[in-house]
Each structure stands twice: as C-alpha cells, then as structure tokens.
Amino acid sequence: QKEVEQNSGPLSVPEGAIASLNCTYSDRGSQSFFWYRQYSGKSPELIMSIYSNGDKEDGRFTAQLNKASQYVSLLIRDSQPSDSATYLCAVNDRGSTLGRLYFGRGTQLTVWP
Amino acid sequence: DVKVTQSSRYLVKRTGEKVFLECVQDMDHENMFWYRQDPGLGLRLIYFSYDVKMKEKGDIPEGYSVSREKKERFSLILESASTNQTSMYLCASLRAQVNEQFFGPGTRLTVL
C-alpha cells in the first residue's frame, strides 16, 4: 500500500494571506501529482496537476514538486473565503497500468474574512 | 469538458437489498473507478476497470461487484446491502494521456 500523507489541519488563514498545504508520498517512482479541492458535501474537483520538479502556477495557485524529497505542496495566494474546502493530494501508482491514484486524507482549509 | 454523471445523488435502501449505482462518462475514457469516502478514512478504492475487458479489485472490494458492459458505463453493485456500506460513493473517469481523474457528483447511500 502506497502512502500519501498530508498535514491533517485544520488550517485557518485570514483573507488575503498565503495558504500552504503540504503532502509527502512513499512511492519514489511516482510521476504524476494532483491537487483536488472538495467542498463540503460535494465531490473532489481537480485544480492542479504537476509532473516535473519545480513550480507550476495557475492563477492564485502554485504547485511545487520535489521528487528527491518526495514532497509536493500547494500554495494559495490571496486566499479568499471561497477557498475554504478540503484539499486532497493524489499521487499516481507507478505499478498500475490502469491509472490508479493514491489519495491523502485531505487538509481542511478555512479562510476567514 | 469531461462530464461524469451518477444515477442518484441520494439513495436510501434497506439491509439485504441489492443496490445498483450507475456511472456514465461522455469522453470515451477507457479507465473508470469506484471509490467510497467516509469521514476520517478518506477516499478508498473499491474497483476499477479498463474498458469492458478488465476489472480489478481495489483496496476494499468485499461486499461489492462491478459491471462494465459498455465503455461509457460503469456500475457498482452491492450484492446484499449492509449498514456499514452507508457512505458517499464516488465514480471517476481517467484522461489517460495525463493521468487525470475526474469525479462524478457522488451518491450518498444510506442503508437502514
């Protein structure tokens, strides 16, 4: 069983601040990394994918990947109350030909006005 | 945009009933997945499938089976529902070129 660990939170930040979400994974051969956002009572929504070391920016979101340290993070700049959700980190299973992902248990983020 | 639909948002069944949860995707994706999500336990994979040719057990297949007679439709079957199968059930479809999974809206199943 591959492990994906996230800081459990909850994480609480004021509006306008930077929220930092972290994830470590156990499978050194993983190649694909994802961040999902899940609002309460809703299904997970893919917000970021990253495949190579370094940073990837999309609007207010930046994903950072360090394969040597087996670490992936998500930064949310200028956090808004609408960013309040649970964020799931997911990592591909290198040994699966069927596209299996392993998910962390999520970090709950609250952005207060 | 990828569209994944699930047959019901909410479902209430009785213990011992046979339950069918249906999932349909419109992007001609080969790979589809069924998960359940419970508080504190995260997402757990029940079954996954490659086209109609292959089905594979995930981490918690006991008490479940699946059917995939057409590529676009993947069904999860609870052979004899039990109260411990009360959960949120999520279906996902895979865009294989980039390994991205897209989820349906989920079915919240309550077994009484």
Which tens digit of pLDDT belongs to each residue from B97-106? 888 999 999 9
Residues A34-91: tens digit of each pLDDT? 999 999 999 999 999 999 999 999 999 999 999 999 999 999 999 999 999 999 999 9
Tell me: pLDDT of B51 over 90: no
Locate the chain B residue with the closest alpha carbon to A49. B100
Question: Is pLDDT above 90 for A1?
Answer: no
**High-pLDDT (> 90) share of chain B, %:** 86
What is the model's pLDDT at position A93?
A: 85
What are the residues of chain A with a beta carbon less than 8 Å away from any beta carbon of chain B?
A: 1, 31-32, 34, 36, 42-46, 49, 51, 88, 90, 92, 97-101, 103-106
Predicted confidence band at B40 (pLDDT cuts at 50, 70, 90)? Answer: confident
pLDDT band at A9 (very low <50, low <70, confident <90, very high): confident
Instruction: Write down the pLDDT at residue B73.
Output: 96
Provide the shortest C-alpha distance from residue A49 to chain B (in Å).
Answer: 8
Q: What is the mean pLDDT of residues B18-29?
A: 95
Task: Pick the residue of B2, B43, B88 with the most A CBs within 10 A to test the interface with A by mutation.
Answer: B43
Contact A81, A111 (CB under 8 A): yes
Query: At a CB cut-off of 8 Å and minimum separation 6, what does A104 contact?
Result: A4, A5, A6, A23, A88, A89, A90, B42
Q: What is the pLDDT of residues B72-100, one digit of tens each?
A: 999 999 999 999 999 999 999 999 888 89
pLDDT for position A7? 85
Q: Which residues of A touch B56 (CB under 8 A)?
A: 98
Give A94-106 pLDDT, tens digit per residue.
777 778 899 999 9
Structure-token match 């709950």, residue found: A108
Contact B101 A88 (CB under 8 A): no
Residue in A7, A89, A98 to test binding to B, most B beta-carbons within 10 Å: A98
Size of interface A-B (CB pairs under 8 A): 56
Q: Residue A94 has what pLDDT?
A: 79
Tokens 């411990």 belong to B84
> Distance (Å) from the C-alpha of residue A46 to the closest C-alpha of chain B?
7
Between β-strands B42-50 and B31-38, what pairing exists: parallel, antiparallel or unpaired?
A: antiparallel
CA A108 vs CA A20, A111, B36, B92: distances in Å? 11, 10, 19, 22
Provide the pairing of β-strand A33-38 with A85-92. antiparallel
Of A36, A44, A98, the CB nearest to B31: A98
Rounded CA-CA distance A88/A34 in Å is: 8
| pLDDT above 80: residue B1 | no
